[in-house]
Amino acid sequence: MKTYLIEKYGDRSPVRAAEMSDPEPGPDDVLVKIHAASVNPLDFKIRDGAFKTILPYRLPLILGNDLAGVVVQVGSAVTRFAVGDEVYARPAKDRIGTFAELIAVHQDDLAPKPAALTMAQAASLPLVALTAWQALVERARVQPGQKVLIHAGSGGVGTIALQLASHLGAHVATTASAANADLVKELGADIVIDYRTQDFEDVLDGYDVVLDTLGGKTLEKSVRVLKPGGKVISIAGPPDAAFARELGANRILRLAMNALSFRTRRRAKRRGVTYSFLFMRADGDQLRELTRLIDAGAIRPVVDRVFPFDQTREALEYAEQGRAKAGKVVVAMG
């Protein structure tokens, strides 16, 4: 099969086209012919080796973290899918590789594709939609009337998180450029902070939840807009010991992650709020919940541009250079 892979870690390490043998599905696996896959910042972090100590991938490694496609084979123990089903998924973190013609995915990580969506639209959703769900529903347990701040509302995670928070009945604020103000309002933002001309810390106060997608100074300031008891959940900040436990990391790695997030957690504790790091996980059942919201019209995908499969490298460069105006960059196989 045709793939796009890396042979070594490193900043801007060349992603190249290569032929690889077709995957062999296990008893619980579903073999999917991939019709579309999307680009995520996670792809660049994995390529650069940012997670090599905690996610020890075997090289060469096919990149790509979500997909939409058609089932072409099922393992002997598969009960939830049949050949011909249209599906979408974020494969488990140790089984990535969606910039390819085929992939074997555990049946529990897969869900039926939303009926109204094209393959390209569906492929844009799994990773970012699961991130939004796990942050806002599972971890923050957002309730109607709560105040939620979502950073980078026009980004891949932001466009879905805005819609989900709005659906949950929250009062939603976001940071975005003036050029994207109308879009993020359409997606559910009640307050839009133009990050180029305004400091959100000067405008917002008393928030229950912040979803931080940027880290750094943004994370530091986010702690200060929360009310006592509030939560900041970050996908870009320092990892913590809870994340290390999720990974099943050894004691040394747990201590190292605890140390990385110590200052952030201490700042949060002083203000009576909590900090946690989120590395989303594959979950087909949660994806089914999201499919219901998508089919009901509560959540819609936002796709910036679709590249053909033979331009996967260009798609990665386009996304990494920040040229997408809003939403996701997608690669379509045909």
Residue with tokens 């975005």: 176
What is the pLDDT averaged over residues 154-167?
98
Tally of CB atoms within 10 A around 142? 23
228-251: per-residue pLDDT in tens? 999 999 999 999 888 888 888 788
Structural domains for the chain? 2-125+301-332 (3.90.180.10), 127-277 (3.40.50.720)
Instruction: For residue 253, give both structure tokens.
Output: 């790695």
pLDDT for 171-213, tens place per residue? Answer: 999 999 999 999 999 999 999 999 999 999 999 999 999 999 9
What count of Cα atoms within 13 Å lies in the side-chain half-sphere of residue 5? Answer: 18
Residue 132 φ/ψ, nearest 5 degrees: -60, -45
Averaged pLDDT, 313-319: 96
Contact 87, 68 (CB under 8 A): yes
| pLDDT of res. 60 | 95
- pTM for this model (two decimals): 0.97
Q: How many residues does the chain have?
A: 334
Residue 281 carries which side chain, given as an amino acid letter? Answer: R
Mean pLDDT of the chain: 95
- The alpha helices in 35-79, defined as continuous H runs, are 41-48
* 105 vs 10, residue with greater confidence: 105
Torsion of CA 16, 19, 20, 22, to 10 degrees: 130
Q: How confident is the model at residue 10 (pLDDT cuts 50, 70, 90)?
A: confident
Say how far apart CA 231 and CA 229 lie, in whole Å: 7
